[in-house]
Structure 1
Amino acid sequence: MNGESWQRRCLVDLFQPDHVVKICAPMVRYSKLAFRSLVRKYDCELCFTPMIIASAFLKSGKARDSEFTTSDVDRPLVVQFAANRAQDLAEAACIVSPFADGVDLNCGCPQRWAMAEGYGACLINKPDLVQDMVRQVRNQVECPNFSVSIKIRIHKDLAKTVDLCRQVEAAGISWITVHGRATEERHQPVHYDAIKIIKENVNIPVVANGDVRSNKDVHFVHQQTGIDGVMAARGLLANPAMFAGYEETPLQCVRDWVDIALEHGTPFTCFHHHLMYMLERITSKQEKKIFNVLSSTSAVIDYLSDNYDFQQPQYRLYLSSLGLFSPATSPVSSTKMTLQWVAVASFLYAEIGFVLFLCLPFISPRRWFKIFNFRLWEKIASYWNRAFLTIIVVLVVLFFDAIREVRKYSMTQGIGKDEKLLPNMYDHLNMKLFRAQRNLYISGFSLFLWLVLRRMITLVSELATAMEENEALKVQADNTNDAAKKYMEENEELKKALHRGKDNGNKKLEEENDQLIKEIERLKAELKRTTEALEKSQIDMASIKKQCDGLTREYDRLLQEHDKMLSLVDKHDKKNE
């Protein structure tokens, strides 16, 4: 069923006995309007938008315009929201209800950031909240045919999952999509037995999700579980025509994607990534290397035109009408530089000119130093270091980006023109490599000259300072020489005066010396006489001393005799009495 024949009615009517509804899963960045339009052409019956954060959707008109786009033929359509508050989900559902046929609550996203915010798979452990969300949407959306669904993962204890499904069924859910893995599982096999048990325990449609990569998988899952629909994600990315029975992506599907993407103005990254997925199974490893490095819509069109018989003039005419193609911007002939590299090249030329200007012989370092001391430079000097480091960081980033580009395009050098590739694509890759090498040289030389220039300015300033110091030393040396000459002249005059003084004073000195000699001789004679008299006096003194000693002994003897006589007199007097 396609969008052109769709009239708004309850989506539950899609689920009929013995019929498996084929659904395009919500895929971030991928299940947008252009891709939904493509899969609808190949028997996809129901499409989901990428997951939208309900709170951001309500707060920002910009978020609403960028995250949700649709058209009159984009039906039937379900908008998937991530929410952690019932009122947020209900208000978002009211906003999209005129433009979609239902909303889906994401209860299966296992990413950490989503679970940390209270979105995704953590909701399977909050059945009351999920039930309240379903009821709020039912109560606030006026359209009776507006569907409400949830997409869940299973618990390790399957009974909890069954209880959750029964609770939301009681709240009025339209259907349930079950991804047959637990929250912690990523690439493990899908538990189809769990999906079957859930289907057997509820009375609403159940959609199976997980590892549906071909139409055979659709029938296999239906037989294993008895589900009412299947939802595919990666399988549709690799083969958007999967539900139509194609085992590989048909070329017509690729052509349809190019037409639809150009019509919708799909950004190049999204346009290119979808083609990378579609061509993955039908291109060789070498072709992937070439196709995956294409960097413009016109380059992709050239590649597809020459390798897969696309009508190149038709697409070039369409690109020209959009302003995306002109002969001057052809991938092979274009040699224009991007604005950032024009700026870097201009900076390089300015550096070369300034270096040559610094090397001019008739401008001395002292003049440069005077120029650097202008007031303007003093004002700039406060920002100089920060500007210098900022430019170094920018040039280093551009240098490593150029290295990355050279390495990326050098990977294709082993592919020659004799390979099964379009000829101008080989030239295009060589041109890309040439540009990357050119950018590498420009950024490398700019960085080198910037460091050299900084060093040259420093050396010029130091040289000018040294020259000024040498000039000052030279002046000081000249002044010192003049003072030395003056001191030498004064010294000569002093020597002459000394010689004159010597001639006049020598005679007086000789006379005085003679007088002194005579006086010394007289004093020597007198000293001799004095010495002789002293010796004689010493001899006389010795004899006097001997006499004195004799007198002393005689005195002592007489004193003893006197004492004896006194004693005799005393004795005699006593007798007379």
Structure 2
Amino acid sequence: MKSDYIQTTTCQERRKDPIEMFHSGQLVKICAPMVRYSKLSFRTLVRKYDCDLCYTPMIVAADFVRSAKARDSEFTTNQGDCPLIVQFAANDARLLSDAARIVCPYANGIDINCGCPQRWALAEGYGACLINKPELVRDMVKQVRNQVENPRFSVSIKIRWQKIFSFSVWGKIASFWNKAFLTIIILLIVLFLDAVREVRKYSSTHTIEKSSASRPAAYEHTQMKLFRSQRNLYISGFSLFFWLVLRRLVTLITQLAKELSHKGVLKHQAENINQAAKKFMEENERLKRPFLRHKMT
């Protein structure tokens, strides 16, 4: 955080709560965090096109707290750069709260990245792996709320689509969508075959010659019908291909939702079994102590 930027950061928008923007009932235009792009110069540009809320790129909270060089290079702002949300990658509640206290005078809130799928982030314990550590995320949010004095300072969490796939609604609508897709696909197949028949009918030389001999304007009429049949062939063919792809996509989504739900159940069962085993081992050790003391005496 460079000093020349900090000294000019007196924007009245800093006092606003970003949550109120979403409750206002108006369209909120947001510049989401983008790696290497969402820095001050880019945020200044998008604000000229009426962007309401901007995010910084993801900043590693540990480096941000420990290194002044990291703060100078990763976070810069000015008077017009507001409302602003600073996104952090963190796996430690204390470090995240320290980082939040540093940026609190210059931003409207922080965002915890729980959705980054990059390998380096997962290896360091950041990003999407935090989805499986809800207690840690809860502790980080609580720590920030307790350490930051400004009650309007927002704390949000970024997640990705994996959480949506675990919703039970996918399983409930799977049978309905399967019947609907099959019905539409059958209808499109019928239309496609009919279009093929029409194209073959009006493309034959015998049909064109016969109609031309009977009526002078029949040739143009036959060509018009040929054009319509070809149009119907292309539309029905592309629609059939689209619906087949869409049906496959929905099938994969429902399968993924089921696998994720089964994974969650198995993980919960394994944790319960592990806790029960630990409890039995502790009970076993507790029962052994009197016998060991008796033998020693």
User: What TM-score does the superposition give when structure 1 sets the normalisation length?
Assistant: 0.27
Structure number with greater Rg is: 1
Q: Indicate conservation of the 8 Å contact 1:58/1:92, yes or no.
A: yes
Counterpart for residue 59 of structure 2: 52
**Please, which runs of 5 or more residues in structure 1 have no aligned partner?**
161-188, 195-577
2:112 aligns with: 105
In 2, the alpha carbon distance for the partners of 1:123 and 1:64 equals 24
For 1:28-39, list aligned pairs within 5 A: 28-39=35-46
Q: CA deviation at 1:126?
A: 0.8
Following superposition, the deviation at residue 7 of structure 1 comes to: 5.2
Aligned partner of residue 88 in structure 1, secondary structure: helix
What amino acid is the match of 2:94?
Answer: Q
- Aligned amino acid, residue 127 of structure 1: P
Please give the per-residue CA displacement for 1:44-100, whole angstroms capped at 9, x wherever unaligned: 100000100000001110000000000011000000000011111111000100111
State the partner residue of 1:12.
Answer: 19
**Residues 23 and 47 of structure 1 are in contact (CA less than 8 Å); yes or no, is this contact kept in structure 2?**
yes
1:86 — aligned with what? 93
Match of 2:295 in 1: none
Residue 160 of structure 2 aligns to a residue in which SS?
A: strand
* Counterpart position of 2:103: 96
1:158: which partner in 2? 166
Contact conserved, 2:14 with 2:107, CA < 8 A, in 1? no
Structure 2 stretches of 5 or more lacking a match? 1-9, 169-248, 255-297
C-alpha contact (below 8 Å) 1:27/1:50 kept by paired residues = yes
Aligned to 1:366: none
Amino acid at match of 2:99: A
Q: Aligned AA for 1:87?
A: R
Work out the CA distance in 1 between the residues paired with 2:80 and 2:109. 15
Select which of 141, 145, 154 maps to 1:138. Answer: 145
State TM-score, norm by structure 2: 0.51
Map 1:421-570; keep pairs closer than 5 Å.
Answer: none
Contact 2:14 2:108 in 1 (8 A): no
Take 1:107 and 1:22, find their aligned partners in 2: how far apart are those partners?
A: 22
Cα shift at 1:21: 1.4
Match of 1:427 in 2: none
Alpha-carbon displacement from aligned partner over 1:388-441 (angstroms, at most 9, x marks no partner): xxxxxxxxxxxxxxxxxxxxxxxxxxxxxxxxxxxxxxxxxxxxxxxxxxxxxx
Q: What's the counterpart of residue 206 of structure 1?
A: none
Q: Measure how far apart 1:129 and its partner are.
A: 0.7
* Residue 6 (structure 1) shift: 2.7
Which deviations, in whole Å up to 9, do the C-alpha atoms of 1:429-481 show, x marking residues without a partner?
A: xxxxxxxxxxxxxxxxxxxxxxxxxxxxxxxxxxxxxxxxxxxxxxxxxxxxx
- Preserved contact between residue 105 and residue 151 of structure 1 (Cα < 8 Å): yes
Give the Cα separation in 2 of the matches to 1:87 and 1:77: 22
- Where 2:15 maps in the other structure, the secondary structure is coil
| CA distance in 1: counterparts of 2:31 and 2:135, whole angstroms | 28
SS in 1 for 2:131: helix
Letter in 2 for 1:88: L
Q: Is the 8 A contact 1:124 1:153 kept in 2?
A: no
Distance in 2, Cα, partners of 1:150 & 1:7: 20
Aligned-pair RMSD on alpha carbons?
2.4
> What is the CA-CA distance between 1:117 and the residue it aligns to?
0.6
Structure 2: distance between partners of 1:143 and 1:6:
14
Counterparts of 1:112 and 1:72 in 2: how far apart (Å)? Answer: 36
Q: Which amino acid is 1:38 matched to?
A: L
What pairs with 1:298-447 in structure 2 (closer than 5 Å)? none
Counterpart in 2 of 1:128? 135
Q: Give 3-state SS (helix, strand or coil) of 1:148's partner.
A: strand
* C-alpha separation in 1, matches of 2:14 and 2:38: 22
Query: 1:250-303 CA deviation, whole Å, 9 max, x = no partner?
Result: xxxxxxxxxxxxxxxxxxxxxxxxxxxxxxxxxxxxxxxxxxxxxxxxxxxxxx
Instruction: Verify: 1:61 aligned to 2:64, yes or no.
Output: no
Structure 2: distance between partners of 1:141 and 1:99: 13
Distance 1:5 1:121 in 2: 34
CA distance, structure 1, for counterparts of residue 14 and residue 150 of structure 2? 14
Does the 8 A contact of 1:104 with 1:149 survive in 2? yes
User: In structure 1, how many angstroms separate the alpha carbons of the residues matched to 2:153 and 2:88?
Assistant: 15
Q: Deviations over 1:324-347 (max 9, x none)?
A: xxxxxxxxxxxxxxxxxxxxxxxx
Q: Return closer, same or farther for 1:5/1:135 CA change in 2, 3 Å cut-off.
A: closer
What is the distance in 2 between the residues matched to 1:141 and 1:47?
21
Aligned to 1:217: none
Alpha-carbon separation, structure 2, partners of 1:7 and 1:75: 6
- 1:4 Cα offset (Å): 6.4
**2:23 & 2:145 partners in 1: Cα distance?**
23
Deviations 1:99-124 (A, max 9, x none): 11100000010101101110001111
| Alpha-carbon distance between aligned partners in 1 of 2:92 and 2:123, rounded to the nearest angstrom | 14
Q: Is the 8 A contact 2:40 2:76 kept in 1?
A: yes
Partner of 1:330: none
Amino acid at match of 1:133: M
**Counterpart-to-counterpart distance in 2, 1:44 and 1:96:** 21
Aligned pairs (5 A) from 1:122-271: 122-155=129-162, 157-159=165-167
Contact 2:16/2:83 (<8 A) preserved: no
In the alignment, the residues of structure 2 paired with residue 78 and residue 18 of structure 1 have an alpha-carbon distance, to the nearest angstrom, of 20
Q: Partner of 2:91: helix, strand, or coil?
A: coil
Deviation >4 Å, runs of 4+: none
For residue 159 of structure 2, give the secondary structure of its aligned residue in structure 1.
strand
Query: SS at the partner of 2:73?
Result: helix
